[in-house]
Chains A and B, each alone.
Chain A
Amino acid sequence: MSQVQERISQDVSNNKVVIYMKGTPEMPRCGFSAATVQVLQSLDVPFKAVDVLADPEVWQGVKEFSDWPTIPQVFIGGQFIGGCDIVREMHARGELAPLLQKEKTTQA
């Protein structure tokens, strides 16, 4: 595994919720990233945000890691969940909160 793949693997394993996004939660640089961060924030869970615009290696690396062509990307409990559309739709169906709750419990 390359160094960047190793780093991504560690990040998603060591943090319950990780989002790879364009910009930061405070200043998103793309509407899709902004919308996805909003969902995570509304769920009131701590999450790690990685700005891919600040690190082109991670930008390319995470696409290969998850075999997913676009940013943002959300990982929960080390599992790739999906991009903006999937996260928003799962949230609308009420499927995201239980998933996060499970991770919270596991953490405790």
Chain B
Amino acid sequence: MGADTTARSLEAALTHAFAPVHLEIEDDSARHAGHAGAAGGGRHFNITLVSAAFDGHSLLEQHRMVNAVLKDLLGGEIHALGLHTVPATEWEKGGSEE
């Protein structure tokens, strides 16, 4: 599977599950290749996801929601995930300050 395929399938799954206000997926696998922790293979992505689905949920709950979606999609394929979830209400607040 090419790098692009995985990033695209991630995007499709997250869009479907969270109808994000904002979604960024960065494939960071190259930077982590070959170090000891990555010995089992797998990929590394940085994801920023802003969604109304996160409103009222703790950070841990937000991450668990995303993990549940990604688990079905990728199983053990992701070695590591940089995940930044933001409730839509907080995103709007941040935006108005700019």
Contacts and interface: CB of A to CB of B under 8 A. Distances in A.
Interface of A: 22-23, 29-33, 53, 67-71, 80-86, 89-90
A22 B36 contact: yes
Given A69-B71, A85-B83, A29 B63 contact: no
7 contacts: A30-B35, A53-B37, A80-B60, A84-B82, A85-B63, A86-B60, A86-B63
B37 A33 contact: yes
A70 B81 contact: yes
Main secondary structure of the interface of A (DSSP, over half): mixed
Main secondary structure of the interface of B (DSSP, over half): helix
A32 B83 CA distance: 12
Contacts of B64: 67-68
B80 A23 contact: no
B67 A30 contact: no
B59 A86 contact: yes
B22 interface: no
B80 A70 contact: yes
Interface residues of B, number: 18
Interface string B64-90: 100100110000001011111000000
A81 B32 CA distance: 25
Nearest to B82: A85
B59 A29 contact: no
A42 to B, nearest CB: 19
Contacts of A22: 36-37
A30 B82 contact: no
B12 to A, nearest CB: 20
B59 A23 contact: no
B37 A81 contact: no
A85 B67 CA distance: 13
Contacts of A86: 59-60, 63
